[in-house]
Amino acid sequence: MHDRTPLSPKGLVDEYFIENRTRLLEIAAFLDRVDRVDPSYPAKDFRMKAFLEALASLARTGDRVDHIQMLLSDPSTEPLEALDRKSAVGAYDRWRRE
């Protein structure tokens, strides 16, 4: 009943290629936009560092979503002693302690 979509591989690509081509170009355009303002900026912002690592991991096979979810997640296991801010920002700053 589960494990995969009923569509064939070609059926999946036929159905989803164009919308994912669009998403690919949107990401490329976003990165170009940042570069036009300051090409050195992504190396200074932990969110962009995580984003670029996640993009590189797209070359993996099979477990891309899980891998990217873990790349972006806070790996710590203890609660914070005090509230630091109200909201999450989308990526954990793994570089803060360097």
Whichever of 38 and 66 has its CB closer to other proteins, that residue is: 66
Choice between 18 and 90, CB closer to other proteins = 90
Least distance from other proteins to the Cβ atom of residue 50, Å: 9
Least separation, in Å, of the C-beta of 17 and other proteins? 14
Buried b (16+ CB within 10 A) or exposed e, 28-44: eeebeeeeeeeeeeeee
Nearer to other proteins, 31 or 72 (CB): 72
- Binding positions for other proteins, rule: CB under 8 A: 1-7, 15, 65-66, 69-70, 72-77, 79-92
Question: How remote is the C-alpha of 11 from its chain's centroid?
Answer: 26
Residue reference for tokens 């690919």: 24
CB 41 within 8 A of CB 34: yes
Q: What minimum distance in Å lies between the beta carbon of 39 and other proteins?
A: 26
